[in-house]
Chains A and B, each alone.
Chain A
Amino acid sequence: MFRPSTQGGIKDSRSYTVFRVINAVLIVAICFITLYPFLNVVAQAFSSEAYINSGQVNLIPMGFNVTTFGYVMSDPLFWRNYGNTVVYTVVATAIAMVLTTSFAYALSKRHLKGRAFFIGIAVFTMFFNGGLIPNYILINTLGFKNTIWAIVIPNAISIFNLLVMKAFFENFPEDLEEAAAIDGLTTYGILLRIVLPLSKAVIATMVLFYAVSFWNSWFTAFLYLDQSELYPVTVYLRNLLAAATGGESLGAGMGSGESAQVAANVKAVTMLLTVLPIVCLYPFIQKYFVSGVMLGSVKQ
């Protein structure tokens, strides 16, 4: 791995070799720092409160216990909110995919009159938007407050995803579509029977992009839902964190160390359960994301 390079008779291959060793060590260190917070959460999730309380838990669980998992999972609200996250993610992704796919397909047709205008009004929203308050008033006016619609509709089209899909459809072999048209298929038929079945890769990528972002989102739910049984699990977790920090900053004279520590332990378990689906899927989804981002950048 660290053989000196012999190409082209470089004079300072020795110092370059030293550089490469240092480089590799630095990258290992960067990877460790990146993983550390995750490992710390895992360690805390399996530790007993007393050890976290005395500040001894870093990478290795101390006073191993799994009772906290039972405690968190016995909270019906946690499961309710976890289920909400699943429902919101599935419904929102479905709506987003229908809108994004049809929009991207139509925009990918270069002969479409007004195409530049339609692309323009979509792209402009990337650089300028209505802002928090007008959006909030709009959602209230529409009566979406405390309904699933506030979560699944307002973020249905991501312009970035739209541009990636459009780029993909533009590269779709035209001959195939023309042949289908000769065989009597309409635009709808071509899209549903020819283009989509051959676009599984990009569709899978877009589903992942949307699903991960909806799974992770919390702010729309925090803003538009006031009933705890409607929350997604991210808001459940946020409320735990807020309670814990409140306890820490206010609790100096309140002797609430005990409850704050329970929170620390419960917090770690809840975090672990919330990220679990993503961490499990990560090895599979990662390469799709990377290729999707690169596809999106080709246009630039």
Chain B
Amino acid sequence: MELREEAEDQQRKTDRGRRSRPPRQRRTWRKALKRDWRLYSLLVLPIIFLLIFRYVPMAGNVIAFRRFRPGGSMFGDEWVGLRYVELFINDPTFWRAFWNTVILGGLTLAIVFPLPIILALMFNELRSRRFKRIAQSISYLPHFMSIVIVAGMVLQLTALRGSINQGIQFFGGEAIPFMQLPEWFRSIYVSSEIWQTVGWGTILYLAALTTIDPQLYEAARIDGANRWRQIWHVTLPGIRPTMIVLLILNIGTFMAVGFEKVLLLYNPLLYPTADVISTYLYRVGIISSNFSYATAIGLFEALIGLTLILSANAISRRAVGTSLW
């Protein structure tokens, strides 16, 4: 029974493709449910999950515009308009966090985004497969570590008696209390981000590299292109779609700079450079219980992120014809 319907369905599809007959009436929901109710039953729990744990919190953002009382409704009790928005717009601490977020996000995008491409090209030039495999395995390793472990390592290396300061003292310098000086935080954050993510980031590029047609290299060589020109004219264009997709994704997460990592690494001495929007809203919301105010900040941040990814996607689709959707 199911099978026959499926065959008919297939027939209908090809009919529509050929336009030899006018398409038959579209299958109604009633028919679809009757036929596929077992498949729909598999959807029930996941959809309930998404509704409760993803879409209800989205609706919960309404408390950015309503006064929330602990113990009251999770959607707030009364409308207060843009009160909380005005509050953060006039809040200097918010603006410090905002600019810290933009700077850290911008540095991460500018420095951490291109490095996996370079590393993938470097791996690609290795002739020894064994060496290549071992080097890759090592470079992925930090990706599998808990962020708590990563933070622990950063604190250990930057400690007053840590390896970095030992190196500085070995060359006759003075030990630097890195974790007490705000001017060092950005370098430490970006370096640890490089350490943790670059190796893992090469995977997709290496996969893209294997799909490049070897004949293109052949042709380039016949045209007299040396190794550099081959990389420039064959390899880089070959991985361009992957680069663009990953760039769009990175732009989309621009504002969501490593909240957990910052939270684990920073301390009040570092707030001038380390406090980002998400850590500020964590302190305002969870520690000081100003739920509505923190939600307004969070909503602002999420909307910037959404706008960024939508515009990056649209621009990329227009300009180079590659997009996420």
Contact = CB atoms under 8 A, between A and B. Distances in A.
Interface of A: 1, 5, 7-8, 10-12, 16, 19-20, 23-24, 26-28, 30-31, 33-38, 40-41, 44, 52-56, 58, 98-100, 102-103, 105-107, 109, 111-114, 118, 121-123, 125, 127-138, 141, 153-154, 156-157, 178, 181-182, 186-188, 191, 212, 215-219, 223, 234-235, 237-238, 241, 244-246, 248-249, 264, 267-268, 271, 274-275, 278, 282-283, 285-286, 289-290, 293-294, 297, 300
Interface centre among A55, A58, A182 (most CB of B within 10 A): A55
B161 A34 contact: no
13 contacts: A31-B138, A40-B153, A55-B160, A99-B46, A123-B325, A125-B55, A131-B295, A132-B298, A133-B298, A134-B59, A178-B6, A181-B3, A286-B140
B282 interface: yes
B161 A54 contact: yes
B142 A34 contact: yes
A75 to B, nearest CB: 17
A297 B207 contact: yes
A267 B119 contact: no
B155 interface: yes
Contacts of B109: none
B93 interface: no
Interface of B: 2-3, 6, 9, 27, 29, 32, 36, 38-40, 42-43, 45-47, 49-50, 52-61, 63, 68, 74, 119, 122-123, 125-128, 131, 134-135, 137-142, 144-149, 151-153, 155-157, 159-163, 165-166, 169, 179-180, 195, 199, 203-204, 207, 221-222, 226-227, 242, 245, 252, 260, 263-264, 267, 269, 278, 281-282, 285-286, 291, 294-295, 298-299, 301-302, 305-306, 309, 324-325
Contact of A132 (B2, B74, B131, B286): B286
A215 B32 contact: no
Contacts of A121: 47, 50, 55
Given A36-B163, A118-B47, A219-B260, A132 B226 contact: no
Contacts of B281: 132-133
A7 B141 contact: no
B68 to A, nearest CB: 7
Contacts, number: 289
Given A99-B45, A157-B49, A241-B148, A141 B203 contact: no
Given A7-B221, A157-B49, A245-B267, A128 B58 contact: yes
A68 to B, nearest CB: 14
A-B CB proximity, top 10 nearest: A130-B57, A134-B60, A55-B161, A216-B146, A131-B298, A113-B32, A103-B46, A187-B38, A134-B57, A8-B221
Given A35-B138, A132-B285, A241-B151, A216 B156 contact: no
Contacts of B68: 137
Given A219-B260, A274-B146, A248 B179 contact: yes
Contacts of B294: 132-133
A234 B59 CA distance: 31
Contact of A133 (B152, B295, B324): B295
A238 B60 contact: no
B122 A27 contact: yes
Contact of A106 (B40, B142, B252): B40
Nearest to A223: B286
Contacts of B153: 37-38, 40-41, 271
A89 to B, nearest CB: 12
B299 A1 contact: no
Contacts of A37: 153, 156-157, 195
A130 B54 contact: yes
Given A138-B53, A237-B148, A157 B46 contact: yes
Nearest to B36: A112
B53 A55 contact: no
A218 B148 contact: yes
Contact of B140 (A41, A215, A290): A290
B50 to A, nearest CB: 6
Nearest to A7: B221
Contacts of A1: 127-128, 131
A249 B226 contact: no
Contact of B126 (A24, A133, A191): A24
Nearest to B68: A137
Contact of A99 (B49, B141, B179): B49
Contact of A52 (B144, B146, B161): B161
A235 B163 CA distance: 25
A237 B305 CA distance: 32
Contacts of B125: 19-20, 23
A105 B119 CA distance: 36
A172 B39 CA distance: 16
B146 A106 contact: no
B95 to A, nearest CB: 19
